[in-house]
């Protein structure tokens, strides 16, 4: 088995490995009354590849694959921003699981964290992954998932929130550094190409939220709870009749739990936010990929 840096021409196979592995895990761990998990649509697959290509371009030292003469066996994608290392994706083919491939590609990605005091991982409920993260020095914070249709009658009038643009990336980075100790930097342009950016910049609080095309937050950070709630409500207002999901909500985010319950979303305990040398950022809702 060879572990080597990921190349742009690997991305098709890398995406397929993650789709297969994550779907298999979802089938094995899903909660009974949640919708049955499905494979990525062609559009979501293309989005995933664009995000991965972004990290291969900006963080070549954090993106790795393991392969043998049959093809790719496992992958890891990670980034480092302002002294914060984050693991964006980590998967092993079904046929290679339990054979040391996962440890090899995770160790390679962790090499990209040298010199970074802090670390963050949005962890699946897979006990094998959780074990590896804990052995790597991460604290496992159980998280909640909000899911369901937003009850439109509960939506309040949201004030002091406006559409953002690239001119607001400095504001976003400033809030990031205050809340999580690290900016997203070059990631903002990537996320803004896929999601609607809304911001608030007022004497009573500052913050931003990337709203997913189907509604709900993709990434949210604010300087206080009240500001965060306004941004979360704005993202929920963009939801139509389809169900939405909000993942990786730690117990520190009670402000978000209150909004979810008011909006009649269901709350489940499902995954982990794995953190090294840091407390759960607050008020903050991480993305699964850019954290």
pLDDT tens-digit map of 166-215: 999 999 999 999 999 999 999 999 999 999 999 999 999 999 999 999 99
- Pairwise pLDDT comparison (262 vs 36), residue with the higher score: 262
Among 181, 221, 216, 184, smallest CA distance to 201 is for: 221
Residue 264: other Cβ atoms inside 10 A: 13
pTM: 0.95
pLDDT in tens, 20-71: 999 888 888 777 666 667 889 999 999 999 999 999 999 999 999 999 999 9
d(CA 50, CA 100): 28
Cα separation, 288 vs 52, in Å, equals 13
Other beta carbons within 10 Å of 274: 23
DSSP code per residue over 152-179: GGGPPPP-S-EE--GGGHHHHHHHHHHH
CA 90/CA 161 separation, integer angstroms: 35
In order of their start, the domains of the chain are: 2-116 (3.40.630.30), 147-285 (3.40.630.90)
Chain centroid to CA 200: 22
- Scored b (16 or more CB within 10 A) or e, 140-149 reads bbebbbbbbb
Query: Which among 264, 123, 285 has a CA at the least distance from the CA of 219?
Result: 285
- Split at pLDDT 50, 70, 90, the class of 241 is confident
Structure tokens at 96: 């290679």
Alpha helices in the chain (DSSP H): 11-29, 42-58, 101-110, 127-135, 169-180, 187-192, 225-237, 254-262
Cα separation, 226 vs 107, whole angstroms:
40
pLDDT at residue 32 in the model? 62
Q: Tell me how far apart the alpha carbons of residues 53 and 73 are, in angstroms, rounded to a whole number.
A: 19
Average pLDDT value for residue range 79-94? 96
């Amino acid at each position: 088995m060879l572990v080597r840096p990921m190349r742009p021409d690997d991305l098709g196979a890398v995406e397929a490995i993650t789709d297969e592995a994550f779907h298999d895990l979802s089938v094995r761990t899903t909660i009974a009354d949640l919708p049955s998990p499905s494979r990525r649509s062609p559009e979501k697959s293309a989005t995933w590849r664009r995000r991965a290509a972004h990290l291969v371009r900006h963080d070549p030292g954090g993106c790795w694959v393991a392969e043998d003469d049959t093809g790719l066996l496992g992958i890891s994608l990670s980034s480092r921003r302002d002294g914060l290392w984050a693991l964006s994706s980590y998967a092993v083919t079904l046929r290679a699981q339990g054979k040391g491939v996962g440890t090899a590609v995770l160790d390679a990605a962790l090499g990209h964290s040298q010199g970074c005091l802090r670390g963050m991982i949005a962890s699946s409920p897979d006990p094998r992954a959780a074990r590896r993260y804990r052995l790597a020095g991460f604290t496992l914070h159980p998280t909640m998932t909000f899911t369901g249709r937003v009850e439109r009658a509960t939506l309040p009038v949201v004030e002091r929130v406006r559409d953002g643009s690239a001119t607001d990336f400095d504001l976003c980075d400033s809030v990031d550094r205050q809340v999580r100790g690290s900016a997203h930097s070059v990631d903002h342009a990537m996320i803004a190409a896929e999601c609607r950016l809304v911001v608030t910049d007022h004497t009573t609080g500052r913050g931003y939220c990337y709203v997913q095309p189907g509604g709900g937050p993709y990434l949210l950070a604010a300087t206080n709870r009240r500001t965060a709630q306004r941004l979360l409500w704005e993202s929920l207002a963009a939801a139509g009749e389809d169900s939405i999901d909000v993942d990786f909500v730690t117990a520190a985010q009670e402000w978000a739990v209150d909004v979810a319950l008011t909006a009649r979303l269901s709350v489940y305990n499902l995954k982990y936010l794995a953190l090294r040398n840091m407390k759960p950022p607050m008020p903050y809702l991480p993305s699964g990929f850019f954290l």
